[in-house]
Structure 1
Amino acid sequence: MTPSHLFSATLLLLLAAFPAQAFSERPIHQLKLNSHILQDSIIKHVNENPKAGWEAARNPRFSNYTVGEFKYLLGAKPTPKKELLGIPVITHDKSLKLPKSFDARTAWSQCSSIGKILDQGHCGSCWAFGAVESLSDRFCIHFGMNISLSVNDLLACCGFLCGGGCDGGYPIYAWRYFVHHGVVTEECDPYFDDIGCSHPGCEPAYPTPKCVRKCVNKNQLWRDSKHYSVSAYRISSNPHNIMAEVYKNGPVEVAFTVYEDFAHYKFGVYKHITGDVMGGHAVKLIGWGTSDDGEDYWLLANQWNKGWGDDGYFKIKRGTNECGIEEDVVAGLPSSKNLVREVVSMEDTLGDASV
């Protein structure tokens, strides 16, 4: 057995020995799995509750989805407790003064990636989207590089080290992948094909894409398109630490528990009102604030396209760990070696042009 195969086999045994702590999820009857996720009864329950703080509606994104199809999108798996021991936990100086409200889209208005709302299609790839989107933003914030990195590279090529591709994965392992393997650009390895539907998008049964390690444009080299992170860490669950991290370094990836009512979110500050647990979901946290009603909230970008929620965004109650939103916050810093390579590449191009 080769060393790489031995490592893989050992890791599989370790993961089996220390199973992930599952989201508190009860089995759902098959009849319910086949029923529609959007229910008028849930909308009524939320909208007639004066203490809800948010409004529910029939989001077009899920107009034809069953409960089972909706559950499949929720691919964030909790990190095995044994693995958490080796992951650095970042805290920030409590004396750091933070604004009462903050929105990364306006703080770094030059970074177009921060304000993009993407679509994960029918794949449980939220864990990959939250990571790739946050790292793309951080390359712009720290190095002035307006780039979109490839979800497909991470989803297809990280393999069992990150989880199960479209069947879900571990956010912190995505960031570790960036450190060791980097991630190519969206231009090199796009998530959707030219049709915008079948890779891995519109068909619910579409499998995890295969890792090809070649850019769709044959004039681009896979290895030259890679962008790396220098670190992978968790942020302490104290709200001040999460706010300080976003304020200083840019958007972060967060995972939380999703209930049935979340599929119906339209606007306002979400908190769980009704419905069963559906699973774990990962998204990008970009800011915070306080509503007109005095409710502190987090501001987040989802990847269910603009046909869901508040034009693709949502707010969730801040400071009370609503749905576990403050428990599993992860990030990393972009690597400067990308800058060195791209400057050299630019100099080579200028040199050729001047000859």
Structure 2
Amino acid sequence: MASPLLFLAAFSLLLSTVHPKVIAVELLSEVKLSSRILQDSIVKQVNENPKAGWEAALNPRFSNYTVGEFKHLLGVKPTPERELLGVPVVTHDKSLKLPTTFDARTAWPHCSTIGRILDQGHCGSCWAFGAVEALSDRFCIHFGMNISLSANDVIACCGFLCGSGCDGGYPISAWRYFARRGVVTEECDPYFDDIGCSHPGCEPAYPTPKCVKKCVKGNQLWKRSKHYSVGAYRIRSNPADIMAEIYKNGPVEVSFTVYEDFAHYKSGIYKHVTGGVMGGHAVKLIGWGTSDDGEDYWLLANQWNRGWGDDGYFKIIRGVDECGIESDVVAGFPSTKNLVHEVADMEVAETASF
């Protein structure tokens, strides 16, 4: 008979394959929160570390940001256990032969959304951005539709079921919202804050936009603009399963823990070197590869515009669950629901043009 300790060890290993690892953030002092997020000392510590594997810099995106303002962008809340009940965990056939390098941008070159780098502004809406970006890509991959879906719809209209809007939310709940309520296009409901925190009134409240349920263009209908997903699921926390999911179905949304040094990322393969925990962040995972030095990495698109990182992208070490990057991977399939309206509208437009 197995000992209780062996049983607990096995049970803990099982949980680690399906449970997110975004770390709860400690409260920081007012002095720390009001200090600048970008520090010469962090750049120096990373760049002088021969084992770092990446280059740090004072990224223009955060040139005027305090620690408090940076923390607010990290909007992934630790997912409550109840939100995970009934969510399937997907695994893939281990016999699938995967390429050593993969980039969704080149795998599906006709899908323009895959290569877009967006900007979440000053709102803690990363949980919604990662979701709408991945679903937009999947509509193109599976249905040949180049559409950009609205993060604004999810942030403003999902309400408490998704979390707290600009004060953070749960990635899996965004995918559930797509299945339950659908999400309109960006053309119908554009993002409320496309100029970041340079306008009056954006501090310190960081207000969540109001749910209007009306397209900005009068000739578009909110309900007809809705696009749906088929359910929501998580991918087993195993690199091979995550790779197979992207290879077969398209980009996914991932969450991970952000430390102070991540704000300084410029190029290379990130791994945490220095600085305290800032919060949980969600981004879009689009590929993988191996460096010339033989280090495996993930390739991801962030939504902090192109003034941050490697033209808006970053790489992080693959296979060791760095910062929990492999522990909370979520996605869903695009649905044909409501698309009949879109096809009918296109046919009417084509007929009218003759």
CA contact (8 A) 2:227 2:339 kept: no
Summarize deviations over 1:295-315 as a string: whole Å, max 9, x none. 100000000000000000000
With over 3 angstroms needed to count, the CA separation of the structure-2 counterparts of 1:96 and 1:200, relative to structure 1, is: farther
Deviation at 1:80, TM superposition (A): 1.2
Distance 1:324 1:200, change over 3 A: farther
* Aligned match of 1:148: 148
| 1:52 shift after superposition | 0.3
Equivalent residue of 1:224, what SS?
coil
Equivalent position of 2:118 in the other structure? 118
Q: Which runs of 5+ in 2 are unaligned?
A: 1-19
1:33 is aligned to 33
The answer for the alignment partner of 1:16 in structure 2 is none
Kindly state the Cα deviation for residue 349 of structure 1 after the two structures are TM-superposed. Answer: 3.9
Is the deviation greater in 79-88 or in 126-135? Answer: 79-88
Q: Is the 8 A contact 1:259 1:279 kept in 2?
A: yes
Q: How many residues align structurally?
A: 334
Aligned to 1:56: 56
Tell me what 2:249 maps to: 249
For residues 303 and 103 of structure 1, do their structure 2 counterparts lie closer, same or farther at Cα, with a shift above 3 Å needed?
A: same
**Helix, strand or coil at the partner of 2:86:** coil
Deviation at 1:338, TM superposition (A): 3.9
Cα deviation for residue 85 of structure 1 reads: 2.8
**The residue matched to 1:58 in structure 2 has which SS?**
coil
Question: What CA deviation, in whole Å up to 9, does each residue of 1:153-202 have, x standing for no partner?
Answer: 01100010100000000000000000011000101100046x84689999
Alignment of 1:231-242 (within 5 A): 231-242=231-242
**SS of match in other structure, 2:129:** helix
Aligned pairs (5 A) from 1:294-333:
294-333=294-333
Q: How much has 1:339 moved relative to structure 2?
A: 3.4
Farther-moved stretch of structure 1 (170-179 vs 23-32): 23-32
Distance 1:339 1:49 in 2: 53
Question: Which amino acid letter does the alignment assign opposite residue 284 of structure 2?
Answer: K
Identity of paired residues, percent?
76
2:91 maps to 1:88 = no
Q: Taking structure 1 as the reference length, what is the TM-score of the superposition? A: 0.90
* Length-normalised TM-score, structure 2: 0.90
Whole-Å separation in 2 of the counterparts to 1:221 and 1:24: 41
Q: Which whole-Å CA distance do the structure 1 matches of 2:75 and 2:290 have between them?
A: 29
Post-superposition shift, 1:351? Answer: 5.2
Aligned partners of 1:255 and 1:283 also within 8 Å:
yes
Residue 285 of structure 2 is aligned to residue 285 of structure 1: yes
Structure 2 partner of 1:99: 99
CA contact (8 A) 1:122 1:200 kept: no
Deviation (angstroms), 1:346: 2.6
Q: Distance between the aligned counterparts of 1:149 and 1:104, measured in 2?
A: 18
Q: List per-residue Cα deviations over 1:215-245 (Å, max 9, x = no partner).
A: 0001111111110001200000010000000
Residues 201 and 210 of structure 1: CA distance in aligned 2, closer, same or farther (over 3 Å)? farther
Residue 203 of structure 1: aligned partner: 202
Q: Is the contact made by 2:120 and 2:196 (CA closer than 8 Å) also made in structure 1?
A: no
Residues in 2 aligned to 1:198 and 1:278: alpha-carbon distance in whole angstroms: 19
Distance change in 2, residues 1:258/1:198 (3 Å): closer
Q: Deviations over 1:254-282 (max 9, x none)?
A: 00000000000000000000000000000
CA contact (8 A) 1:191 1:200 kept: no
Is the 1:155–1:209 contact (alpha carbons within 8 Å) kept by the matching residues of 2? yes
Deviation of 1:23 (Å)? 1.7
**1:134·1:284 contact (CA, 8 Å) conserved in 2?**
yes
Deviations 1:94-115 (A, max 9, x none): 0000000100000001000000
Whole-Å separation in 2 of the counterparts to 1:21 and 1:353: 54
What's 1:216 paired with?
216
Partner Cα separation in structure 1 for residue 225 and residue 270 of structure 2: 39
Alignment partners' CA distance in 1, 2:263 and 2:200: 19
Evaluate the alpha carbon distance shift between residue 202 and residue 308 of structure 1 in structure 2; reply closer, same or farther with a 3 A threshold: farther
Q: Show the counterpart of 2:340.
A: 340
- Note closer, same or farther for the CA distance 1:189–1:99 as it changes in structure 2 (3 Å cut): same
CA separation of 1:76/1:98 partners in 2, compared to 1, >3 Å: closer, same or farther?
same
Aligned partners of 1:293, 1:202: CA distance in 2, in Å?
48
| Matched residue SS, 2:208 | coil
Contact 1:75 1:167 survives alignment (8 Å) = yes
Q: 8 Å contact 1:101–1:289 — kept in the other structure? A: yes
1:345, CA displacement in angstroms? 2.4
Residue 55 of structure 2 aligns to a residue whose secondary structure is strand
Deviation at 1:350, TM superposition (A): 4.5
Query: 2-side partners of 1:326 and 1:167: how far apart?
Result: 24
Paired position in structure 2 for 1:4: none
Instruction: Give the structure 2 partner of residue 9 of structure 1.
Output: none
